[in-house]
A and B are shown apart, each in its own frame.
Chain A
């Protein structure tokens, strides 16, 4: 009962935006995917091309839309705990509270991604000729999602500013599109390219890329947890 009450309050403390924004992003991307398919048909393209356009839009949703939304959300939550000093004066560990909130916000983004993933499969837009929907196929979105979430948290803790961390995340996101040729032409950079599936497809190094991104997310998570235990840093007293 106590644990349930705690969870309920932590969810409330996250604020409604944490739950609404991933859903909004999903709706926006689905709308764009539908428009892309429909306009291809109107311009005389074949059914298969229109289907491909819609599929890319939906892949974009799970590989780059939801991860960005989740990253921005956790950056906002972590970078601005209004009752931080009260929390730090409590007997329990703030690291545990921060980790719980991060887990809850990530879990919601994960649930939305799973639901969208299932929807894409059911609607016949999954690239099944290239990769099966589960379990390896989940890495299409799981790897970039975890990178954005852990990076958003770490940036918010390092800069103690949701604006700065959100701006860096947005720049990283845009940079992935703008500098795609640079990323893909470099032997090392292509292994950390975040939107590989939607921009290139399932390549020979796709699985390596996804696993490296998961490792990167793990490293960022460790950094975030370390920072969550540094009270002086969190209060901005440690210059």
Chain B
């Protein structure tokens, strides 16, 4: 299911401009949406989910025009949505919560709905605690309930906003694999500020900053953008300083290794600096390079 966004803007009352003239095309499969906090990702997700209305612009999901009420409702029927702040009814069990949302999503056949709920609980590994009240669930268990509810209606479009926030490493890997599997059969829009989640699951992504899309394309293209601008600095002296961003620091026995992104390599005249060498860029390097550069006209 294709998503076409043209000239989309959102201004909240009080004149806060959350989105500025966004144009995007999202094709079936996994698509990542990356950006710092406050970039406008959640507003865009909410508009796509029909929760908020844009101030300006056009939005098509498949054949449905989301500028109309009928179009928004039609999209909601095809949609699975996991919001960033997933709230649950604490006095309901996981099974009851899913059954309730299944009802609200229009799954009227009781037996088929119950089977679907049980299958999803099994899929997210919560079958054994299905009868336990949600107020006793950990953050990770609630996120799993969240993904299960998003899949209740076997959606053609799945929108997940920061799905791995607060999960432990094992749960994050499980979630990423689950999303990648789901992306094989539908359009999955993954919004996050965790670069690793995108790198491991998506082929294409958009990067947002200050309400604008500053990059849209293949992951490889964003990685390539940083080529020649990523270095590894090994030094026994102080942390390198200059016009670059330190991506990571690794303490060794008698020295330290820094991975830096910048326009020019760090100075090598310092006696304590043992080595400065260019390295292969990764998605995180590309993202940081883009955030430093902010050249939307060049990269979009």
> Could you list which residues of chain A lie within 8 angstroms of chain B, going by C-beta atoms?
1-2, 5-6, 9, 12-13, 15-16, 81-92, 97, 231-232, 235, 237-239
> Could you list which residues of chain B lie within 8 angstroms of chain A, going by C-beta atoms?
12-14, 16, 43, 46, 49-53, 73, 76-77, 79, 81, 83, 85-92, 96, 99-101, 103-106, 108, 110, 149
**In the complex the two chains form, is B87's CB within 8 Å of A9's CB?**
no
CA distance A97 to B103 in the complex (A): 12
**In the complex the two chains form, is A9's CB within 8 Å of B96's CB?**
yes
* Selected A-B contacts with CB under 8 Å, 10 pairs: A13-B89, A82-B87, A85-B85, A85-B87, A87-B104, A91-B77, A91-B106, A232-B53, A237-B43, A237-B52
**In the complex the two chains form, is B110's CB within 8 Å of A12's CB?**
no
**In the complex the two chains form, is A90's CB within 8 Å of B91's CB?**
no
Smallest beta-carbon distance B131→chain A, Å: 14
CA distance A231 to B46 in the complex (A): 10
Contact of B149 among A13, A86, A235 (CB under 8 A): A86
Closest chain A residue, CB of each to CB of B89: A13
Contacts of B83 in A (CB 8 A): 85-86, 89
CA distance A13 to B46 in the complex (A): 24
**In the complex the two chains form, is B73's CB within 8 Å of A91's CB?**
yes
**In the complex the two chains form, is A84's CB within 8 Å of B87's CB?**
yes
Closest chain A residue, CB of each to CB of B106: A91
CA distance A15 to B86 in the complex (A): 18
**In the complex the two chains form, is B96's CB within 8 Å of A81's CB?**
no
Closest chain B residue, CB of each to CB of A2: B108
**In the complex the two chains form, is A83's CB within 8 Å of B87's CB?**
yes
Given A85-B85, A86-B86, A92-B104; A9-B99 close (CB under 8 Å): yes
CA distance A130 to B249 in the complex (A): 85
**In the complex the two chains form, is A89's CB within 8 Å of B52's CB?**
no
CA distance A89 to B104 in the complex (A): 11
Contacts of B49 in A (CB 8 A): 89
Closest chain A residue, CB of each to CB of B12: A237
Smallest beta-carbon distance A80→chain B, Å: 9
Contacts of B106 in A (CB 8 A): 91
**In the complex the two chains form, is B13's CB within 8 Å of A239's CB?**
yes
**In the complex the two chains form, is A82's CB within 8 Å of B89's CB?**
yes
Of the listed residues A2, A81, A90, A238, the one surrounded by the most CB atoms of chain B closer than 10 A to its CB is: A90
Given A86-B86, A89-B81; A239-B91 close (CB under 8 Å): no
CA distance A205 to B14 in the complex (A): 45
CA distance A2 to B107 in the complex (A): 9
CA distance A1 to B89 in the complex (A): 22
Smallest beta-carbon distance A188→chain B, Å: 34
**In the complex the two chains form, is B87's CB within 8 Å of A86's CB?**
yes
Contacts of A238 in B (CB 8 A): 12-14
Closest chain A residue, CB of each to CB of B110: A1
Contacts of A16 in B (CB 8 A): 91
